[in-house]
Structure 1
């Protein structure tokens, strides 16, 4: 396998990881809210909740600072190194990129990420995580 194909494969892997991160943030909140209603005890797991809160705080801070996600930067650098146009590569890159990235003004994302982050923080109080055990 030549190096350009390895770079494209790595870029696709980063894009897939990016999608998993988004799924964790979005569906994590959905699971927390549905889990309260269905009495799922795992949605009160403190480690899960801390990871979820940290993930959305990272996104919101990036949005407020106008920073580009490191995963996006790495993916684009790998695609460029492979000689590929950004998001014009493989099937995975094309479709996952289309689903993940929208063309809207930056302020729209800042508002959406901040509102979503506020929902995550509110869920912390509405669906209280279990305290860490003393063990």
Structure 2
């Protein structure tokens, strides 16, 4: 598979997946908190909650240890194989990349992701998942 257009398509697909993961993490917390208030039973689903907690835990730990996100690394690899700049400049990459990536000192990301992770952990107790 050495066709640049295939790698470009794969890079865009990984970027879309990455945006979906971010929306799952951020939107998931909003839905959990709203669902707790509105008594939605599905937000107490243990599998959903464990997956949500694991997703933000991955983000927090990679940030603490200075490890690049696996999805970012995979997208960049595909872009390089497609002959693109690592940032990508086609329509999808440009706009979704602007949504995902910000310029700030590393400590800002560590602080924000850790605070968000603690909020997700707090939600585990505020809106308890169902026991089996």
> What TM-score comes out, normalization by structure 1 length?
0.95
RMSD value, Cα: 0.9
What are the within-5 Å matches in structure 2 for residues 20-35 of structure 1? 20-35=20-35
Instruction: State the distance in 2 between where 1:61 and 1:112 align.
Output: 12
Deviation at 1:88, TM superposition (A): 2.6
Answering whether residue 63 of structure 2 is matched by residue 63 of structure 1, we say yes
What's the secondary structure of 1:102's corresponding residue? coil
Q: Deviations over 1:9-40 (max 9, x none)?
A: 00000000000000000000000000111111
Deviation at 1:90, TM superposition (A): 1.8
Instruction: State the distance in 1 between where 2:81 and 2:89 align.
Output: 12
Q: What is the match of residue 98 of structure 1?
A: 98
Deviation at 1:89, TM superposition (A): 3.1
Q: Deviations over 1:16-69 (max 9, x none)?
A: 000000000000000000011111110000000000000000000001000000
- Runs of 4 or more, structure 1, over 6 Å off, are none
Deviation at 1:87, TM superposition (A): 2.4
How many residues are matched?
131
What's the secondary structure of 1:51's corresponding residue? helix
Q: What is the match of residue 123 of structure 1?
A: 123
Q: What is the match of residue 41 of structure 1?
A: 41
> What TM-score comes out, normalization by structure 2 length?
0.97
What's the secondary structure of 2:68's corresponding residue? coil
Structure 2: runs of 5+ lacking an equivalent: none
What's the secondary structure of 1:68's corresponding residue? coil
Structure 1: runs of 5+ lacking an equivalent: none
